[in-house]
Homo-oligomer: A and B are copies of this chain.
Amino acid sequence: MKRSLVLFLLLSPLFMWGQTSDAQQLKSIYEQSLTNGKSYDWLDYLSNQIGGRLSGSLNAERAVRYTKKELEALGLDKVWLQPVMVPKWTRGVKEYAYIESAPGKITPVNICALGGSVATPEGGLRSGIIEVNGIAELQTLSKEQVEGKIVFLNEAMEPTYINTFKAYSGCANQRYAGAMEAGKLGASGVIVRSLNLRLDDLPHTGSMSYGDLPEADRIPAAAISTKDAELLSTMIKLDPTISFYFSQKCRVFPDVQSYNVIGEITGSEYPDEIITVGGHLDSWDLGDGAHDDGAGCVQSMEVLRLLKETGYTPKRTIRVVLFMNEENGLRGARKYAEVAEQKGEKHLFALESDSGGFTPRGFSFECRDDQFEQVLSWKPLFEPYLIHLFDRGGSGADVGPLKNGETVLAGLRPDTQRYFDHHHAANDTFEHVNKRELELGAATMTALIYLVDKYGFGKKVKG
């Protein structure tokens, strides 16, 4: 398009009307969400009536039934369950651990098993302990140094990163691969510093993997609270010969049947062009999964409700997907992408909310330059809502499998400062979600989905 034509369009009454109309539609969306929103009530039910929704658990099953029923009540064009087999891991009775600084002189500490870990031997595991500053340092050790010991991976999240997710990715590998790497060196167990920027008493669970390690070499892995990690580190420095004891009764069961919960408004003009918005319905078991990712689920459901409620008729098919098993398997996301591929479905856009129900700051996009340029042209519409962040980078784990170079992927980016205080811990609970912040996030997502539906990505808006 020529510059002069662009200029003409920019200044034409038609364009001005278009802008005003978009601005008004956004206003309606935000007002509806803030005055008559359903997201907070849904989250209340998911958190307080159901609770933690670990894959394969009864609660996960109840969450599937509840959200399906709620989507049906919205009067969408279709609501269905997409079957997917998921892992089933259970924590069992509460874990117990202590530092033994002299025979019989014990200091109890707060731990929790990592998701997927094996149990400790009957009666628990007691042995010497060796501290390393994350996986990198572990890999410098010899088999002789590690054999028979518990490895304590104590790498702290980097506090100077403004984006706390960057600090998380920086050391999440010690949780995910710590047991695998220590197991290769003959360790008897691993204790991992919780991925929490704050000093407190709560251990934070999360997924881990043994990779291809034979069953016999799989060692139990647990997270320790940040305060107790500091304590343990100090005690090891004072006396490197101290022992550590822990007991956990977790078990892996055969895979069980579960579901992605899906609902859609069929597009009025381009029903074959699909826009999905989603979060993951499963959660860890320690809290009630309000931020991770009850918030993302109810916000995604709210997107479809807000579009209907504000009287907008989508041209394209708008689909909400509540993915099962993001936390310990990503099976739901893979199944969704696999079925989409089989059916030859064309996904135009996939948006995920999985960074907590905090004040929205913007979005992060995985897309081509021309697509990003188009997205940036919408940015001024979001300024009245204090949405300033239109970044490129990661989108989300659940929309990731849809990546194909054409589909635009995006993640909602809320304020990140408090997120890791709650992430995968017992305090990821409903009372830590602020109603307005949750509703602003839902409205922000709806606004973007509206613009993508209305304008698509095909036509470049800048010459």
Contacts and interface: CB of A to CB of B under 8 A. Distances in A.
A12 interface: no
A437 interface: yes
Interface string A108-135: 0000000000000000000000000000
Given A388-B388, A389-B386, A415-B415, A31 B160 contact: yes
A66 interface: no
Contacts of A434: 417-418, 421
A34 interface: yes
Interface string A145-171: 000000000000001101110000000
A74 interface: no
B436 A197 contact: yes
A435 interface: yes
A385 interface: yes
Contact of A160 (B30, B198, B389, B421): B30
A217 to B, nearest CB: 38
A162 B417 contact: no
Contact of A159 (B34, B159, B197): B34
A385 B162 contact: yes
Contact of A417 (B164, B388, B437): B437
A361 interface: yes
Interface in A343-401: 359, 361, 384-386, 388-389
A415 to B, nearest CB: 5
Contact of A436 (B31, B159, B437): B159
A142 interface: no
A418 B358 CA distance: 10
A418 B415 CA distance: 13
Contacts of A361: 386
Nearest to A385: B162
Interface in A401-423: 415, 417-418, 421
Contacts of A163: 386
A440 interface: yes
A386 B35 CA distance: 28
Residues of A in contact with B, size category: 20 to 34
A294 B386 CA distance: 26
Nearest to A420: B436
A442 B408 CA distance: 38
Nearest to A439: B159
A163 B440 CA distance: 12
B159 A417 contact: no
A35 B440 contact: no
A151 to B, nearest CB: 26
A421 B160 CA distance: 29
A415 B197 contact: no
A35 B158 CA distance: 9
B386 A160 contact: no
A118 B196 CA distance: 48
Contacts of A35: 159-160
B30 A359 contact: no
A359 B436 contact: no
A61 to B, nearest CB: 32
Contacts of A437: 417-418
A415 B358 CA distance: 10
A389 B30 CA distance: 20
Nearest to A443: B162
A30 B440 CA distance: 28
Contacts of A386: 162-163, 361, 389
Contact of A162 (B30, B160, B197): B30
Contacts of A421: 434
A1 to B, nearest CB: 29
A417 B359 contact: yes
Nearest to A418: B434
A219 to B, nearest CB: 34
Given A34-B159, A162-B386, A359 B415 contact: yes
B417 A384 contact: no
Contacts of A31: 160
A361 B386 CA distance: 9
18 contacts: A30-B160, A34-B160, A35-B160, A162-B384, A162-B385, A162-B386, A163-B386, A164-B436, A197-B436, A359-B359, A359-B417, A386-B389, A388-B388, A388-B389, A415-B415, A417-B434, A417-B436, A417-B437
